[in-house]
Chains A and B, each alone.
Chain A
Amino acid sequence: EAGVTQSPTHLIKTRGQQATLRCSPISGHTSVYWYQQALGLGLQFLLWYDEGEERNRGNFPPRFSGRQFPNYSSELNVNALELEDSALYLCASSRSDRGYTFGSGTRLTVV
């Protein structure tokens, strides 16, 4: 079974630009979750998508947005990048209440 795949692995952007991060869940998983983890800090919940709908949103500004496609893959968009957006962005998928499986993450660096 293929795991959760995220792309790109690394992304370098300049302040003010837009970043798009992509995630493909495990086959059969309908829920996708996005998290931000700044260096040395805990997981910060960003977004939860299920069956194409946004189910829950964390305490982040509107310039963080995303969507889920009919094949359950997802993308996270970050507009007007700020230096403090530099972090590891993690995607996870699940099918039920059996926990999440995480991808390897996208390391976003804003310069």
Chain B
Amino acid sequence: QKEVEQNSGPLSVPEGAIASLNCTYSDRGSQSFFWYRQYSGKSPELIMSIYSNGDKEDGRFTAQLNKASQYVSLLIRDSQPSDSATYLCAVINAGNNRKLIWGLGTSLAVNP
């Protein structure tokens, strides 16, 4: 079992819709969770971090964490074509407070 799993996609949504991206992780003791956005040929950019159960909202982005079920999700409201990118989920495992464990990413396409 991979430590951090994401559907590779592509996930295709129409402009203005809600895009829902999901990520599961295997280490039950994981403490810190991150979503990065990566445009083709560019470096990853941190867009959301979440550390406790529940929802965290920042503009059009909402991160949701459920430690009991070991999943973290990212919702993008009012999706725009500029949101088309690969979204990477990353987790810091218990006992290692620095090293990120990465998923392979979900490709999102927002269609005008």
- Residues of A with Cβ closer than 8 Å to B? 31, 33, 42-43, 45, 48, 50, 55-56, 88, 90, 94, 96-105
Using A97-B97, A98-B49 as known contacts, list a sample of 20 further A-B pairs with CB atoms less than 8 Å apart, ordered by residue number in A: A33-B99, A33-B100, A43-B44, A45-B102, A48-B98, A50-B98, A88-B43, A94-B98, A96-B98, A99-B32, A99-B34, A99-B46, A99-B49, A100-B46, A100-B100, A102-B43, A102-B44, A104-B42, A104-B43, A105-B42
Neighbouring A residues of B65 by C-beta, 8 Å: none
Identify 12 residue pairs between A and B in the complex whose beta-carbon atoms are under 8 Å apart, listed by A's number.
A31-B98, A33-B100, A43-B44, A48-B98, A50-B98, A90-B43, A99-B32, A99-B49, A100-B90, A100-B100, A103-B43, A105-B43
Provide the residues of chain A in CB contact with B105, threshold 8 Å. Answer: 42
- Chain B residue with the shortest CB-CB distance to A101: B46
Q: Are A102's CB and B45's CB within 8 A? A: yes
B88 contacts partner chain A, Cβ-Cβ < 8 Å: yes
Chain B residues with a Cβ under 8 A of chain A: 31-32, 34, 41-46, 49, 88, 90, 92, 97-100, 102, 104-105
- Beta-carbon contact of A42 and B100 below 8 Å: no
Q: Which of A31, A45, A55, A100 has the most CB of B within 10 A?
A: A100
Residues of A within 8 A of B99 (CB): 33, 48, 55-56
How far does the alpha carbon of A43 sit from the alpha carbon of B42 in the complex, in Å? 12
Q: How far is the CB of A59 from chain B (nearest CB, A)?
A: 14
Return the contact of A99 from the options B42, B90, B104 (Cβ within 8 A): B90
Complex CA gap A45/B100 in Å reads 9
Closest A residue by C-beta to B86: A42
Instruction: Give the residues in chain B near A90, CB-CB below 8 Å.
Output: 43-44
Given known pairs A42-B102, A43-B88, A88-B41, the reply for A96 and B97 (CB within 8 Å) is yes
